[in-house]
Amino acid sequence: MASLVASLFIFSLLRLGDALSVDYYAETCPQAEAAVMEAVKRATANDNTVPAALLRMHFHDCFVRGCDASVLLNSKGNNTAEKDGPPNISLHAFYVIDNAKKAVEKLCPGVVSCADILALAARDAVALSGGPKWEVPKGRKDGRVSKASESTQLPAPTLDFSQLKQIFSQRGLSIKDLVALTGGHTLGFAHCSSFQNRIHNFDATHDVDPSMNSDFAARLRKVCPAHNKVKNAGSAMDSTTTVFDNAYYKLLIQGKGLFSSDEALLTHPKTKQLASKFAASQEEFFEAFVKSMIRMGSIQGGQEVRKDCRVVNQ
C-alpha cells in the first residue's frame, strides 16, 4: 500500500510539471542506482553509523539552497563551505558519496549529478536500515555556491514549534512534513551539546525540562554532566539506533525525546496528533515519510553536473 501511494505521489509531482523524473537516467545511465546502492551497502557493512550520516547529510543539503549538493563542496581560499559551518561539523561519511560518484562516472561520465547521488544514497540508507524503499525522482543539478554562514538556516535542536513551522513553510513543506521528516531521528546519535539545554539550567525554576521523563533525564545527566569534557559523549536518538522504525515516536510521547525541537512536536494539537498516529502505526509513518522525502527532495537550486562532488567544475 505504501509503495502504491508513493508511486501515485511521484506521478502527481510529475504532472505538476516538476523537472524531476523517476526515469531521468533510464537511457543515459540505467545502472546508476545500482552503483550508488552498492557503495552505500559496502560502507554500511563496515560502519553501521553510515545510514544515519547519509540521511542527515541529505536533509542538511536540501535545507540550504535546495538539494544541490552544496553541502559536499570543500572550503577553498577565503570561502568557508557549508560542511564546515557549526551545524555540519559532525557530518561524516562524505567518502561514501565520493565512492558512489567514482563508480557512476565509470559507467557514464558527466551524466549523474552529485545531488542525485546524495538523494539516492539517503533513500538506500533508509531501505538498508529496515525502512521503506521508494522511487526517487531525479534530475537535480549541482550548485556552485557553498557558504558556512548559510548553515545557520538549518533547523536547530533548540527550536520551538513556531520556529520549526516557519523554517519548513519557507521551503514549501507542511506541518505533516515537519513531523514525518523529524522521524529521521530514529537513526543515529546526538552529542550532549544538542540537548544540554534541557537537562541543565533549563529555566529560572527548573534545572531539568519538566516535560522530559524524569528517569530518562537522570540517565542523560549521568552521561552528560553540566561541564562535560568528553568530546563524543551523548545518546542514541532512540532505542533502536541503527533500525529505521517508529520507535522515535513511541519514546517521544513518553517524554523521552532528546531535543527541544522533538518535544516541540507535542506542543501543538496537530503535530501531537500526528506523532501519536505514527507511534501507533509504523505503516502510516513510512507512508508519510516517503511522501515528505520526495517533497523535500524536490527543492532545487543547482546549475551543473560536477565531475568531482567536492569541487565545482572549472
Question: Averaged over 51-55, what is the pLDDT?
Answer: 98
pLDDT band at 14 (very low <50, low <70, confident <90, very high): very low
Q: What region, left, alpha or beta, does residue 242 occupy, with left being phi > 0 and alpha being psi -120 to 50 degrees?
A: alpha
Q: Are 262 and 250 in contact (CB under 8 A)?
A: no
**Is 186 assigned to a binding site?**
yes
Residue 80's Cβ-side half-sphere holds a number of Cα atoms within 13 Å equal to 9
Task: Determine whether the annotation assigns residue 61 to a binding site.
Answer: yes
Residue 256 has pLDDT above 60, yes or no: yes
- pLDDT winner (highest mean) among 16-30, 225-239, 282-296: 282-296
Instruction: Indicate the DSSP class of residue 238.
Output: S
Q: Which of 58, 60, 200, 268 is catalytic?
A: 60
Average the pLDDT over 254-282 and give the result. Answer: 98
Between 232 and 98, the more confident residue is 98
Residue 1 confidence class, pLDDT cut points 50, 70, 90: low
How much is the mean pLDDT over the chain? 94
Residue 4 has pLDDT above 50, yes or no: no
* pLDDT for residue 15: 32
Q: How confident is the model at residue 231, as a pLDDT?
A: 84
Per-residue pLDDT at 99 exceeds 70: yes
Q: What is the pLDDT of residues 129-145, one digit of tens each?
A: 999 999 999 999 999 99
d(CA 117, CA 68): 10
Does 113 carry a binding-site annotation?
no
pLDDT at residue 8 tops 90: no
Report whether 185 belongs to an annotated binding site.
yes
Say yes or no to pLDDT of 86 above 90.
yes
Closest among 49, 41, 146 to 93, alpha carbons compared: 49
Task: Give me the residues paired with residue 234 across strands.
Answer: 191
Ordered domains of the chain (ranges, CATH): 31-154 (1.10.520.10), 161-297 (1.10.420.10)
Averaged pLDDT for residues 178-188? 97
- Of 37, 147, 143, nearest to 84 by C-alpha is 147
Q: Which pLDDT belongs to residue 150? A: 97
Long-range contacts of 247-251 (CB under 8 A, 24+ apart): 247/186, 248/182, 248/183, 248/185, 248/186, 249/183, 249/275, 249/276, 249/278, 249/279, 249/285, 250/279
Q: Quick one: pLDDT at residue 229?
A: 86
60 is catalytic: yes
Q: What share of the chain is helix, strand, coil (3-state, %, to 5)?
A: 55, 5, 45
210 is known to lie in a ligand binding site: no
Render pLDDT for 272-304 as a digit per residue (tens, 0 to 9): 999 999 999 999 999 999 999 999 999 999 999
Higher pLDDT residue, 19 or 242? 242
pLDDT at 6: 46
Residue type, 49: T
Q: Check the annotation: does 64 bind a ligand.
A: yes
Residue 111 is classified by DSSP as: T
pLDDT at 9 over 70: no
- Residue 82 annotated in ligand binding: yes
pLDDT digits (tens, 9 = 90+) for 185-230: 999 999 999 999 999 999 999 999 999 999 999 999 999 999 888 8
**Is 66 labelled a binding residue?**
yes
- Beta carbons of 54 and 121 less than 8 angstroms apart: yes
Residue position matching grid coordinates 533508509:
126
Handedness of CA 256, 262, 266, 271 (dihedral sign): negative
